[in-house]
Amino acid sequence: MLLIFAAAWIGLTLAEKRAERNGISKENINNIIFNGLITFVIGGRISFILQNIPAFIKNPFGVVSINPDMFDPLGAVTAAIIVVLVYGQRRRLLFWYTLDALTPFFAILTIGIGLSHLAAGTAFGKETKLVWGINLWNATRHPTQIYETLASFLTFGLLWFKRHDTRSGILFLTFAALTAGSQLFIQAFRGDNTLILNGLRQEQVIAFAALAFIFILFEYRLKEKP
Amino acid sequence: MYRNQRVILYILILISGASWIALSAEKTGSAPSRDIPAPQASFAAPDFTLKTPTGETYTLSELRGQAVLVNLWATWCPPCRAEMPTLEKMYEEYKDQGFVLLAVNMTYQDDPFAVVPFTQEYSLTFPILLEETGDVAAAYQLRSLPSSFFIDRDGIINEVVIGGPMSEALLRTRIEEILK
């Protein structure tokens, strides 16, 4: 968790530096990220409560318990996206320019998530005999946490040194395509996937669908005159 | 790059991606981590055999078919003490549905003579097991007290909660999950 917060802080600093280039003020970037993070935390708890109402009816004080385990990540992300969209609309921020301004934040956050997986031993790999395998959970495994961290570093590097495209949304879509592509590749080495349809990895199928959708969005954004 | 070239590139990337998904599919059709014992969600719970202060023996693997909560604790640990009344309440409420609570006291780093008075003070009715060697703590890679492992009826760890005290609502949601 500390690594993710550290990454969010570094990401925010970099996003602020790049914000002006995308026509977004530092103040707006700060507010978007702050509102998003606060809603992420509160939304995750509320979503967990809504999914387990009978447990909280019997123990209403559990709602304000400090247990971090009472958290639904999907609900948290959904709530944060809704609040950020509402904030953006009320402040009349341009959607694609804002996403471009936030891209350094997202890129650093993915590095932080990879490092936090490494620290906690989660998102672990399947067993391997390769020499770079790491000993984790009583087996020698693919260091998938290192793979994902390296892929995130590479993505960040490519974006940071990428020539500035005047068409809005291209920077964010490049980040999204690289992240979906690397996940599609790396998930094959994970040892904790959800399997569907005779052994297909659900996470790879989601990454594939995301990639196809991103390509469609690329064409839509590239129609804009530079 | 022209639009036609880009579309060809997209199609090539998507074909490669689809091929990679098919090539890397799990042939066994089950999650690969379930056979290996490790103290992590989706792994088999490491087995152990321990005795209660009265000499009764409990073996985790013999409880297969029941939902088990393994709670690692010590008498000197304030959050462990704080969550004991809630654990007792949950045990009383769910034991008839096939819920077993094994409270493993870290006796090797605790005062062995404090355990029985502690259970009497809190009127605990679930099994208290004595961990005198440190082997179970090592198998469960104990990092912090209390640590709780929610194990489903197949002996697979469903959830790990490090630290405490756990709230009643959290316990309820996790117990109902492993009872399914």
CB contact residues (below 8 A), chain A span 23-42, against chain B: none
Grade residue B171 by pLDDT with cuts at 50, 70 and 90. Answer: very high
B146 prior amide bond cis, ω within 30: yes
Task: Tell whether the torsion through CA atoms of B10, B14, B20 and B26 is positive or negative.
Answer: positive
Is the Cβ of A218 closer than 8 Å to some Cβ of chain B? yes
Chain A neighbors of B32, CB-CB under 8 A: 126-127, 191
Angle (CA) B150-B154-B155 rounded to 5° is 50
**Structure tokens, A132:** 């770079």
Which domains, from first to last, does chain B contain? 30-179 (3.40.30.10)
Mean pLDDT across the stretch A93-114? 90
A219–B36 CB contact, under 8 Å: no
DSSP assignment of A2-28, as one string?
A: HHHHHHHHHHHHHHHHHHGGGT--HHH
The ipTM of this complex is 0.81
Residue A155 backbone class (left: φ over 0; alpha: ψ -120 to 50; beta: rest) = alpha
**Per the CB < 8 Å rule, is A219 touching B13?**
no
Nearest residue in chain B measured CA to CA from A222? B3
Helix (H), strand (E) at residue B159: strand B157-162
The pLDDT tens digits of the residues spanning B8-52 come to 999 999 999 999 999 988 876 556 566 788 888 888 999 999 999
Cα angle value A197/A199/A204 (rounded, 5°):
85
According to DSSP, the residues that pair with B150 across neighbouring strands are: B69, B159
pLDDT at position A22, please?
A: 74
Residue A112's pLDDT band (cuts 50, 70, 90): very high
pLDDT at position A48, please? Answer: 92
Integer angstrom CA distances of residue B138 from A35, A48, B61, B132: 42, 32, 18, 12
Average pLDDT over residues B149-170: 91
Phi, psi of B25 (to 5 degrees): -60, 145
Q: Is the pLDDT of residue A215 over 90?
A: yes
* CB contact A62 to B (< 8 Å): yes
| Residues β-bridged to residue B58 | B50
If DSSP codes are grouped into helix, strand and coil, which group holds residue B125? coil
**Tokens at residue A28, please?**
């707006």
What integer best gives the mean pLDDT of chain B?
91
pLDDT in tens, B108-135: 999 889 999 999 999 999 999 999 999 9
Answer yes or no: do A70 and B33 touch at CB < 8 A: no
**Secondary structure of residue A200 in the 3-state scheme:** strand
- Give the Cβ contact number of residue B159 at 10 Å: 18
What are the Cα distances from residue A123, in Å, to A114, A134, A136?
A: 9, 13, 11
Average pLDDT of span B133-145? 91
From B156, B149, B155, select the one nearest B174 (Cα to Cα): B149
Report which of A85, A83, A8, A4 is spatially closest to residue A43, judged by C-alpha positions. Answer: A83
- Name the minimum distance, in Å, from the CA of B62 to any CA of chain A: 22
Task: Name the least confident of A55-64, A140-149, B37-46.
Answer: A55-64
